[in-house]
Each structure stands twice: as structure tokens, then as C-alpha cells.
Structure 1
């Protein structure tokens, strides 16, 4: 990926971090910190994205004397004084470590689905002369919250679709294609699109955010692409023909991409007329003929009440395209035609739409969905209450358990001592504090040490870990019981 506006890692920081090296207890030689999801909207997190941050910013010689001088000038100007910046400490790092960061980072394998309130990774310095380095990079490392939260958000979408496909269809073969990432234009930056798009691809194979595949190719050993799409029209390609030539616009799209699948947006003017007179009339024979060659037309409503519009689209198509009843007792359109609902889709509207279709005898198999901002942008660090805290220090050769315990918010209490993450015999996860865990059972793996990647995950490994398992929690029940999420 191209360089960003800031390439000096010393400046990838909340600037107040620059003053902290002076205010740890005298004699401090070790600081050990951890990152966790303290709770939040969903009951678990899909851990993902740390490897990108490490490879992108922290691997190899990342600090030079020139960077130290630049940072000295910038930090001095920010504070308006020359006694804040740690010039000596950074120069020591360059001279004694060749610009590599003497840190050890241990993390749960990426793609692991971990219940909240458990440690996800730990960080500690390996050079006793640089204990402040551990928390200096909190700012950058905590940004793992974004890809991790999108991966979690996306997996909940998948669980909802999996739930309804299991109830209303004969198999689950198409689940991985039922939620399309349409969020590229709605995110805050190209990097957000790449990280969020990649996170969604852990769970689904449908995406227009090609930046996600680009990131995975560079940082996660992906061969090819992870997200797939199909030629599809947009409103401009229909409305540029003029209202009186809408039929010609659809026919032209359909004939231009005459093989395989094709998508057509239908609500540029009157969606009901478009479906009834065009796709169920003038264009019907073309649709059926394409079906004999294995192709499908995906008809897309893009406005109105999500659940009512989706149902009405199916009911209009049913009048002309003969449905069958599957083994679960639900109606299925022929394979040549499907509805794609990509307007206003979030967890709540997806659930209500699928429930509405089920109640009216329709299999989830008939409908595909797309999400944009609800998938990639309507999340923040507090969605899963992500936090990075010191839990252990060594001062004058003595180990010290470090913790916070704010009287005003017990939810922000932090963990103490060195931590291990263990999975018990019953499948539950437990974070053992105060160094009392069994190292042989620790799920945390050293992924980074002294400026080098020690463990390098492939995207395929990550996908396999995040797969929905038979013993996954009932996400529908959880969402109903918690804050009216559905």
C-alpha cells in the first residue's frame, strides 16, 4: 500500500505519550500491557487486524536518526517546550537496536472467536532500558479495534443469515454470498475500506470493496481475491437513458453482459411497473433463456421499507416465474431470478426482513443482501469497549501487579499481573491473572519480537477459525435480549 501522510512511527501516537517516559516510577525496567474487549454490543469478538498493523508499521528498522530529529522538532513545537521529547531514548533505540523495536507481542491467533472480557494480546519491552516503549505504541496497536469489530459485526450478519437459511432452505451452500459489502464509498478513508473490506471477507465472499482483497494479498498471503461481484447497473446507467427508455436500459445491460449473472437496479422510477411490465413481461423470455445457461438476474430494489419491498418484489415475480416448495416447506423462485436488497440493511432490518419472508412462506434462499455504512462505518472503539492497560511492571527488580479500579465505573476495572488465555474442557475461555495460568495451555502466541514477525497467519487459516460452529451461541436470542438489537 502507498505511504500515508505520516511515515514517522514516533509521531503515530497521542502526543502526550511523549512525556510519559519521565513519570513512570524510578527504577522501572519492565512494563507489560494487554488489550481486550471489555464487553460491548456483541458477546464475542473475531480477532483480526493486528498482523496488518505490525507489518505495516512496526516490522524491521522503523526508527532512524532523521526520524528522531523530525519528531524532536514536531513534539517540541506541539508542547512549546524542549524538555518533553525523549531524544536520548530514541537515539539509544537506533544505536543499540538498529531502529528495531525491542518489544514482544503475544496474541490469540487471528480469526479466533473469543468471548468478550478476555485478553486478546499482550505487549512488553525486551530491553530494560526502554520500559516506556510498551505503552508508547498503545495508540497504534489499539487501532486493531476497527478490523476486529468489523469482522465481528460481519459474523453476526452471517449468523442471522445462517439461522434463517437453516430454517427455510435445504442447504447452506450460498450463505457465504448472501451479504455483499457495498461500503467502500461510505467509509472514512481508503485504509478503512481496505481493513473493513478484508474483515468482512473473513465471513463472506461477496464484496465490491476490492481494496480488501488488495490488503489481504499484501499482508495475509492471499492468492487471487477473497471477495467476488457481478456486473451490475446503477441508477446513472439507467436514468441516463431517460424515463421513457428504461426498458431499453435494462435490455442493453442484460444483452451487453450476455453470459453468467447480471444485476439490475429497478427503482429508478416505478419499481412495481419495472418488475411487472419489464422483468415479468418484455424481458421474461430473456431471463428464462439465461437460466437454461446457468445465469441469473439479480433484481435490486434500493428504496422504501426494507421488509415490505423485498416481500412485494418476490410476490410480483412469483406470478410469472413458477416457484417450487423445498423440503422445509418454503417457496423458492427458479434459479434464474433473485432479489437483492441493499438499502437500509443492518442487523435489525435483516432480521425483520427474513422473519417477514419466513412468515409469508418464502425461503431466505430467494433474497441476497448488501450493507454499506452499517457494515463498515457504524462502529467505533466502544462498540466492543476495546481497551489497552498496563497490568504488570518490574521496579527495582520487584514485580508489581498494576491495575485500575475506578469507583465510578466498575466496568472499567482492569486485569492484574501477567495473563494467560485458556480454553477449558467445556469450551469456555478464561483469562488467568497474576501469572497463575498454565503456560502449556496459553492460547496467546508470540507473533512479534524485537522488530520481527515471529508468526505470520494466512487468510485461509483465519477464515477457518472464524467459521460458524455447531455449538455457536444462539445469536438471535442474544440480539433479542440485549438492548433491542433486533
Structure 2
């Protein structure tokens, strides 16, 4: 799918004939409308669209192919307009796009992006890009927001129970979602969004995405880990040998190795194998064996495993009065982990005087796939039209049947009001600074966010939330 002229909804191909004849410029904004999932959104992902689409010129062959397809498809095609872009703009879209800094945690209902055509022959272009632009923002921003909400829960738990929460938090939520998404592109975008908040992932497409679009080095890390096929291939009678092989292959001092241990009987595996026949080998290896329950109650089962490990390996009590297992053993819970179960698990850890140091959690489809545009009610709407006489006129919707879908009228700005981002009309900014800054104009990337800049801003917002 490489023709950018087809990266829109069919009906938008006819919109160039629908704007008033006096229209010269259209302004539109993008927001996450107030929603039941989150009162704020971690904005991320726009730069992927800017670099992957808008910095690549369209070609004559793109135009010819799109013309043929639209004719057969039954919709008009704006050949004259696209040839003007090709001839007069070198194939690059004459748009100005302003946006908040990526990594910003913005209240729902605040404009994140504002778009305007710069060639007054092309007022249709602003909303033509909605389809691809909106999906480049809603999906990674929703995943980043979900990941951020999990991080806040885990970090608050660490603050209550850990002597070193800042070194612990990067690896407390691990992305297992690559196999559960609809495409490799989803894995890349969603996995990269998760890495804004954490450094643990098994979604390798996310590493390349962060390198390609945000100039990152390797942004995420993983460890050797078992799956059921590698364990059950030894047969039930040789279960202990399967585990022992993990120690032989990967058991190095201070090296973590994760082993799924519920292929047959988790209780037996923990009590009689890891804490019995293999205990001396675990201690001798110097490794950290991370036991993974993969069935049962997602809150009670990891706590039960930790209690068994404490009985046999012991540990220590830290300055917060919380128990920390011997460094040779830890637990990761990946099955059944969602926002609510992570909250329940952390609450139980705190209540039972366990340090969150002892456990990591993993999420798969719940992190990268079980979200959609309606999760945070993302929308892009036109808000103003400039006419031939140079006047800007308000454009908005306000359906009587659903006032919640009312859109903002007039070109927007996002300003700080008493430390909180708020939406105001552009002409009402006054002496304040509009936080929507130009990131793209007429084929030029004006601002190139690095992955570390995005991460640093997101972390700043986390620290502000837990301090408030």
C-alpha cells in the first residue's frame, strides 16, 4: 500500500467539489474528545506520518494509478489539483501542521494538532489528509496513554515498596503484543508507543520503528525466555531437565532468564523443582530465574508463587518494610494482565508487604490490540475557513442529537492556564505562548523529535502526577 493518493476514504476524493467557491484555506484540528477511558492523552506518533508520507513526493505514476482506480471505483478524482501539487510543489503537500511536543500529556479535549493548507487553490487538501493523519496519531497515542496509566500504577507501587523505584520501573511492564495485532505496522507503531514509557519488549518491529522515525538507538530490551513448546518438547517425565537446560544455556551471574512453569502443574514445578531439585543449581548459577505462571487467577497465582519462593529462598526486608525475594528468583505475570488487574495486583503486593521489585507484568493484545479510535474518541474536525476576501469564518458542528460531538469553532491554540493545557481561540492567545508549534510546512520537517526527548517529556509528566 504505497500510493499516498489512495490513503484516504473514498468519499474524500469528491470533497474538492464540495467546498464553497469562495473557500481559500481550511483549518482543522485533531483532539481526543472527553472519554470514559482517560482524562488525559499522551500525544505520540505524528512524526511517523510526517516522515513516512509527507516527506516523500507524489509521482506522476501515483496520479495516473489513482485516477484509474477512482474512475473504476465510482468516485471523482481531483487530477488537476494533484498535478498542481506535482508541478508547483515538487510533489510535496502544501500544508502547515502545528502540534504539541510529542510526549506531552494533554487533557482530553485539548487540540493536539492543527492543519492548514498553504496553497489557496487547495482548501480541500486539509481534510483530505484526515484519514491517514488521524490514524497515525490515535493508535500510538492510545497505546502510549494505556502504557502510561499502567506505569503510573506500577511506579506508585514502587514508591511505596521499593528502595530504588527509578531503576526498577523501566522493566516492570513488558510488551508481549506482537502476535496479537492485526499487522506488522501495528506492532511497530504500538510497540514503539509502549517504549515511550518502558524499556521492556518482545516486539522487535518496535525497535526498528523507533530507529527509523525518531532516531533512537535500540530502545527496548528482552531476555532469554521459554515458551510452552520448548518446555513440553522434553515430555512431562523430563520437565526438570527442560528447566535445567535453561540454567545450562543461559544461567550466568546476574543474568535473568524467564521460564514458563505451568505446562503441567505449576504448584509442583515451583515447590518441588525450582525450590527442590533445582534450588542448588539455581543458586550456583548466579542467574535470576524469573518464573512465569501462565494460567490461574492473574492476581492470586503470582502472589502464591512468591510465597513459595520466600519459604525456600528467603530474602530481605527493605527500608520500606517490604519483603524482597533472594536475587536468584523473581516472577513475571503475563496472563490476564489488564489495567484493572495490574492495579489489583499492585494493591495486593502493597497490602501484603511485598516489594513490587519482585515482579514484572506483561501485556499482549490488551496493550496493542484491544484499543480503537473510540477508546479515547479521537476526531479531526474543520474549525475555520478563509475566504477570497481574506476573512476567516468559523466552521463547526453541534448536533442536537449528540451534543458530545460538538466541535470547536475558529482556529485553535493550546496554552498553559495555571499550569494546565487549555484550548483557546487563536486570536485570544494574547501574551501567552501557543503550545501548538509548526512541525511541518510545505514538504519541510521543521521539528524532528528524538525518542529520548519524547521519553523525557513523558517521564516529566509522570513525576508531576505522582507528586501532586
1:14-67 Cα deviation digits (max 9, x unpaired): 010000111101121000000001022111111110000111111142x22221
Q: Secondary structure at the match of 1:219?
A: helix
Distance change (3 Å), C-alpha of 1:408 and 1:439 = farther
Offset of residue 357 of structure 1: 2.4
Shifted more, 246-255 versus 89-98: the winner is 89-98
Write the mapping of 1:396-435 to structure 2, written as runs, cut at 5 A. Answer: 396-397=388-389, 398-424=391-417, 426-433=418-425, 435=427
Q: Confirm whether residue 128 of structure 1 aligns to residue 124 of structure 2.
A: no
Distance in structure 2 (CA, Å) of the matches to 1:87 and 1:403: 29
CA contact (8 A) 2:413 2:426 kept: no
1:267 alignment partner in structure 2: 262
CA contact (8 A) 2:54 2:443 kept: yes
Offset of residue 317 of structure 1: 0.7
Distance in structure 1 (CA, Å) of the matches to 2:310 and 2:466: 35
Offset of residue 289 of structure 1: 2.2
Q: Secondary structure at the match of 1:435?
A: helix
CA contact (8 A) 1:168 1:363 kept: yes
CA contact (8 A) 1:29 1:396 kept: yes
Distance in structure 1 (CA, Å) of the matches to 2:113 and 2:245: 53
Q: Secondary structure at the match of 1:45?
A: strand
1:54 alignment partner in structure 2: 50
2:191 alignment partner in structure 1: 197
1:152 alignment partner in structure 2: 145
Distance change (3 Å), C-alpha of 1:269 and 1:156 = same
Distance in structure 2 (CA, Å) of the matches to 1:316 and 1:434: 61
Pick the aligned partner of 2:175 from 152, 162, 181: 181
Distance in structure 2 (CA, Å) of the matches to 1:378 and 1:188: 11
Distance in structure 2 (CA, Å) of the matches to 1:367 and 1:243: 27
CA contact (8 A) 1:146 1:196 kept: yes
Write the mapping of 1:203-282 to structure 2, written as runs, cut at 5 A. Answer: 203-223=197-217, 225-259=218-252, 260-282=255-277
Distance in structure 2 (CA, Å) of the matches to 1:94 and 1:54: 18
CA contact (8 A) 1:33 1:392 kept: yes
In the alignment of these two chains, the number of paired residues is 461
1:265-294 Cα deviation digits (max 9, x unpaired): 100000000001110011111222233xxx
Distance in structure 2 (CA, Å) of the matches to 1:473 and 1:42: 16
Offset of residue 169 of structure 1: 1.8
Unaligned runs of 5+ in 2: none
Offset of residue 209 of structure 1: 0.5
Offset of residue 248 of structure 1: 0.3
Pick the aligned partner of 2:305 from 303, 309, 313: 313
1:481 alignment partner in structure 2: none
After TM superposition, the score normalised by the length of structure 2 is 0.96
CA contact (8 A) 1:250 1:264 kept: yes
1:478 alignment partner in structure 2: none
2:32 alignment partner in structure 1: 37
Distance change (3 Å), C-alpha of 1:439 and 1:103 = farther
1:141-167 Cα deviation digits (max 9, x unpaired): 001100011000100010000111111
Q: Confirm whether residue 472 of structure 1 aligns to residue 458 of structure 2.
A: no
1:464-484 Cα deviation digits (max 9, x unpaired): 000044431699xxxxxxxxx
CA contact (8 A) 2:293 2:301 kept: yes
CA contact (8 A) 2:152 2:462 kept: no
CA contact (8 A) 1:261 1:296 kept: yes
1:103-136 Cα deviation digits (max 9, x unpaired): 0000001111111110001100000011100110
Q: Secondary structure at the match of 2:373?
A: coil
Q: Secondary structure at the match of 2:112?
A: strand
Write the mapping of 1:365-384 to structure 2, written as runs, cut at 5 A. Answer: 365-384=357-376
Unaligned runs of 5+ in 1: 1-5, 476-486
Distance in structure 2 (CA, Å) of the matches to 1:33 and 1:371: 35
